[in-house]
Amino acid sequence: MMEFQHKSVLLGECIEYLNIRPDGIYADGTLGGAGHSLEIVKRLTDGGLLIGIDQDQAAIEAAGERLSAYEGRFRIIRSNYVHMAEVLAAQGVRGADGILLDLGVSSYQLDTPERGFSYMEDAPLDMRMDQRQEKTARDLVNDYTEQELYRVIRDYGEDKFAKNIAKHIVRARQDKPVETTGELAELIKRAIPAKVRAQGGHPAKRTFQAIRIELNQELSVLTEALDQMAGLLKPGGRLCIITFHSLEDRIVKRRFREWEHPCTCPPDFPVCVCGKKSQGRVVTRKPVLPGKEELEENARSKSAKLRVFEKK
């Protein structure tokens, strides 16, 4: 198995916005190779604690090695960040001084062909972030109706050729199931006009992204997790979320705004009667984006956006 490699996006910015206290408790809900977590743990004393959560076994093993010099200051749990409340409770932790989510797929997952995330190399269609899950991208591609495929590609891939791509997939699988990333990428390519293919990035990028999001239920997991996140923060604690997709960013932006201004009274009411209290403030009025240097060093940081919320 290849080494777990992942270049942490907006690393310096995240560490700065987390306002790390040496004796604080921090949770990294998307541990990955522990790039962000390592920088958090380095700043902790023996009274501090980092709880790292990830559902990918390869990430768990890599993170354990990377953090090993700081034994006693971290605990690693294999789970989905949607279960963070239960994970923290099981560790005897009542609240966190900071929570970090770095959403999306890791460089390791993209660069390991057999994981089936990439359209650049031919491999079995997989795309599971948690390999304990039975359903794979192959099941989705071959079992979804044409209408369901169209919805997924349109909504999560935001591809204007979604209808034609879905049609090509369904037509092809009547002869034989679509088994590999290479087969799927070729079908997508055929569904997009040559003139369009010649412009911009790889024609399969949006559809692969859409299938991955649907398979791993990434948007519903984010929405459900956000419902509990503000409640997990201690007063003054901060939640830092890095998104890579416009729909993810929209969900985070909207939820942060609701936490800051929850009042649902009509605007012409002289006083609030709904009783909903602000949970804190949005620290980043606009998302924090990667700088020129990071963009040059890491092309995958291009679509990254960081938003930060502070608990009252």
User: Hey, CA dihedral for 255, 260, 265, 266, is it positive or negative?
Assistant: negative
Q: Do domains 11-108+218-311 and 134-215 have the same CATH topology?
A: no
For 128-137, how does the pLDDT look when each residue is reduced to its tens digit (9 = 90+)?
999 999 999 9
At 243 the three-state DSSP class reads strand
Q: What is the pTM of this model?
A: 0.94
Output the average pLDDT for the chain: 95
- Is 134-215 a domain of CATH 1.10.150.170? yes
Distances 73 to 24, 37, 48, 289 between C-alpha atoms, Å: 10, 11, 6, 30
11-108+218-311 domain in CATH 3.30.360.10? no
- Asked if 188 contacts 207 with a C-beta cutoff of 8 angstroms, the reply is yes
What average pLDDT does range 148-158 have in this prediction? 97
Span 44-68, average pLDDT: 96
| Boundaries of every domain in the chain | 11-108+218-311, 134-215
Q: Region 82-103: what's the mean pLDDT? A: 97
pLDDT for 4: 52
Best CA proximity match to 103, nearest among 206, 257, 221: 221
- For residue range 253-308, what is the model confidence (pLDDT) as tens digits? 999 999 999 999 998 999 999 999 999 999 999 999 999 999 999 988 999 999 99
Question: Residue 2: its pLDDT value, please?
Answer: 47
1 pLDDT above the threshold of 80: no
299 CB-near residues (< 8 Å, 6+ apart) = none
In Å, how far from its chain's centre is CA 19?
22
Instruction: Give tens-digit pLDDT for 186-195.
Output: 999 999 999 8
pLDDT band at 238 (very low <50, low <70, confident <90, very high): very high
pLDDT of residue 107: 82
